[in-house]
Structure 1
Amino acid sequence: MTIRRVLCSFGPIVLPVAAWAAGPASHGGHEDHGGIPWTTLFFTFVNFGLFVWLLARYVWPQVRLWLRERHTAVVQELEAAAQARREAEQLRAQWQERLNKVNEEIARLKEQVEADLARERERVLEHARKTAETIRKDAERTVAAEMRRLEEELRAELVRHAVEIAREIVRRHWSSADQHRTVEEFARQVQS
């Protein structure tokens, strides 16, 4: 703030006060003791004007500089906060994307595990079916072989019993005439 501005600002106030303060001096030097002490008021205004001028000249530039610096610092801090917020939002978005990818990967792995389990279950069931079929066929073959063996044993036993019964019958009912007739019949068959 320049002196001219100070004078322009305070001049309209100081000049009328100075003229009014000179009023009692023009009346023979008698001052009215009950009135306003114009000289004191004048010097008070001059003092105040000088004080304002000193503030404007030396203090106000420093205050303005401090205010500009403070304004710049606040703007920078706000910009830094906005940048930090944007970065935090980006980071949150990245982590959300990663989380979504992890969830998708978990779902994919779960589906893959379920598919693998289904394939393994089918493989085990197929192996069990084949094993059961093999066991059944082996059992059928074993049973069939055992049945044949038992049939042969039974036939052999029946033949043996039949032979024993036939011997017993022949021994009881076979006479020498029967023996002679059988031998002749056998001889005729051999000759023919």
Structure 2
Amino acid sequence: MDGLLQISPGLIIWTLVNFGLYLFLLARFGYKPLRTALERREQTIAESLRSAELARAEAQRLLADAEEQRKRAHAEMVELLRQAREQAEHLVARAAEEGEKVKQEKLREAQREIERMAADARMKLQREVADLALRAAQKLLAEQLDSERHRRLIEQTIEQLEHTN
């Protein structure tokens, strides 16, 4: 067992020669491909980082654009609602004006009708008074009354007129 833990100078030299040979072969044939692979990996990582940064910047820009569009749409909606409210108020005011005009026209028509009816009633009353006066005059002439009788006949006619109206 002691042989395993013993240091042998020949073994050390051969181990160093083997190590040097492996180091030389690795440096001569393995270093370039290893370095190239590491550089490619580094470039791939750098490109991925640049792509990720560009994608993040694009996402930020798209998000900002979307937010701006949302704000514009909201502003347009508010403006449309304001215009709709304004139009509704205008329509209500116009309808009220039209209603007032119609009401005033109906009142004028009713007033004209009342005035026409009053004029008709006055004309009828004048005709009746003229007719009664004519009848009274006919009676007077027909009977050739004295003044006392004439006065009584006029009073009777006036009383008849009062009772008829």
Fold match by TM threshold 0.5: yes
2:56 is the counterpart of 1:81: no
**What residue in structure 2 maps to residue 136 of structure 1?**
107
**Which structure is larger by alpha-carbon Rg, 1 or 2?**
1
**What residue in structure 1 maps to residue 161 of structure 2?**
none
How far apart are residue 83 of structure 1 and its match? 1.1
Change (3 A) 1:167 1:110: same
Task: Give the unaligned 5+ runs of structure 1.
Answer: 1-31, 183-192
Amino acid at match of 2:105: T
Task: Calculate the TM-score normalised by the size of structure 2.
Answer: 0.73
Q: Which has the higher contact order (CA 8 A, sep 6+)?
A: 1
1:117-142 deviation line (CA, Å, top 9, x unaligned): 22222111111111111111111111
How far apart are residue 154 of structure 1 and its match? 3.9
**What residue in structure 2 maps to residue 98 of structure 1?**
69
1:75-110 deviation line (CA, Å, top 9, x unaligned): 111111111111111121122112211111111222
Q: 1:56 aligns with which of 23, 27, 31?
A: 27
How far apart are residue 71 of structure 1 and its match? 0.7
**What residue in structure 2 maps to residue 66 of structure 1?**
37
Change (3 A) 1:144 1:176: closer
**What residue in structure 2 maps to residue 3 of structure 1?**
none
Give the Cα–Cα distance (whole angstroms) in 1 for the partners of residues 88 and 145 of structure 2: 87
1:14-58 deviation line (CA, Å, top 9, x unaligned): xxxxxxxxxxxxxxxxxx967323322321222122112211221
2:79 is the counterpart of 1:108: yes
The range that moved more, 42-51 or 148-157, is: 148-157
Q: How does 1:1-192 map to 2 (within 5 A)?
A: 35-157=6-128, 159-160=130-131, 166=136, 175-176=143-144, 178=146
4+ long deviations beyond 2 Å: 32-38, 150-164, 166-171, 174-179
Change (3 A) 1:72 1:109: same
Task: Give the unaligned 5+ runs of structure 2.
Answer: 151-165
Amino acid at match of 1:132: K
How far apart are residue 177 of structure 1 and its match? 5.8
Q: What number of residue pairs does the alignment pair up?
A: 146
Task: Calculate the TM-score normalised by the size of structure 1.
Answer: 0.63
